[in-house]
Amino acid sequence: MSYAADVAALARKDLKVELRTRDTLPAMLLFVLATLVVFHFALPTNAADDAAYGLLWVAIVFTALVGLTRAWVPEHEHGVLDGLVLAPCDRSAIWLGKTLATLAFVAAAQVVALPAFALFFAPLGAPAIAGVLLADVGICAVGSLLAAMAAATRSREVLLPLLLLPLAIPLVVGGVGSAVSSEPSRYLLFLGLYDAVFAVLSWASFEYVVTE
């Protein structure tokens, strides 16, 4: 099989597992909606829209974390990862398949979260939505590698946020900048740069994380 076919098969497997078990996506949806409601009460009534955009990014990062914490659980519970590592395909395809599947979950959660945010708080322009999409790519690319790393440790659920949050700070800067700045293009460019650098790094280093 070619590399693209391997990746597609792996991503399809994750989507199928999710369709049957419904473990991740409903949790993410409920989490992001609950977070937005909490934010309504956390913000003072006369707070500016800019503060709400900041909180939206907190919600986006934490919702992605909810999805990523679950990302490798099926593989570890049933020993699937050993089988995948032994399969005659490039190991980076495993990472790419997982990244695409996680990206699909995160995007699906945002299809609900962004309109809800616009309804509850402040309108979202095209640059803000482009910023969200670019940041999703970065967070899923880095997150699925770190989640694989954390899944092999003793304290996996606790460890993943600690590993990911310092790496997500530049994404939050880019995302908030694209929503509040009068010239969002430099922030979008920055997010694109982040995605490119960290996607290549994660793609190249995944093999070392999963092999014994």
Partner 1 sequence: MAPEDADQGISQRIFYIHVPIALTAYFCFGLGAWKALRLLWLGEERYDLESYVAIHQGTIFGALTLLTGSIWAKASWSVWWTWSSRQLVLFLVLFLFYCAYFMLRFSIEEGPRRARSSAVYALFGVVLIPISFLAIRLASDFVHPVVFNLDGPQMSGTMFVTFCVSWAAVTSLAYVLYRIELLGKRIDVGLRELREALQ
Place of tokens 């070392």: 208
169 lines the binding site for partner 1 (CB under 8 A): yes
48 lines the binding site for partner 1 (CB under 8 A): no
Among residues 8 and 73, whose Cβ is nearest to partner 1? 73
Nearest to 26, CA basis, from 73, 66, 69, 76: 66
Residue from 177, 184, 188, 199 binding partner 1 (CB under 8 A): 177
Angle formed at CA 18 by CA 16 and CA 23, multiple of 5 degrees:
165
Residue from 51, 74, 76, 170 binding partner 1 (CB under 8 A): 170
Size of interface with partner 1, in residues (CB under 8 A): 33
H/E run at residue 14: helix 3-21
d(CA 145, CA 208): 10
Q: Draw the binding track, 112-151, toward partner 1 (x: CB under 8 A; -: no contact).
A: ------------------------------x--xx--xx-
198 lines the binding site for partner 1 (CB under 8 A): yes
Phi, psi of 125 (to 5 degrees): -85, 175
d(CA 89, CA 99): 16
d(CA 143, CA 166): 12
196 lines the binding site for partner 1 (CB under 8 A): no
Among residues 97 and 174, whose Cβ is nearest to partner 1? 174
Q: How many CA atoms lie within 13 A of 75 on its CB side?
A: 24
Report in angstroms how near the CB of residue 202 gets to partner 1 at its nearest. Answer: 8
Show Cβ contacts of residue 49 under 8 Å, excluding neighbours closer than 6 positions.
121, 122
197 lines the binding site for partner 1 (CB under 8 A): yes
Report in angstroms how near the CB of residue 88 gets to partner 1 at its nearest. Answer: 22
185 lines the binding site for partner 1 (CB under 8 A): no
The first and second tokens of residue 1, run together, are 């099989």
Which residues contact partner 1 by CB under 8 A? Answer: 142, 145-146, 149-150, 152-155, 159, 162-163, 165-167, 169-170, 173-174, 177, 186-187, 190, 193-194, 197-198, 201, 205, 208-209, 211-212
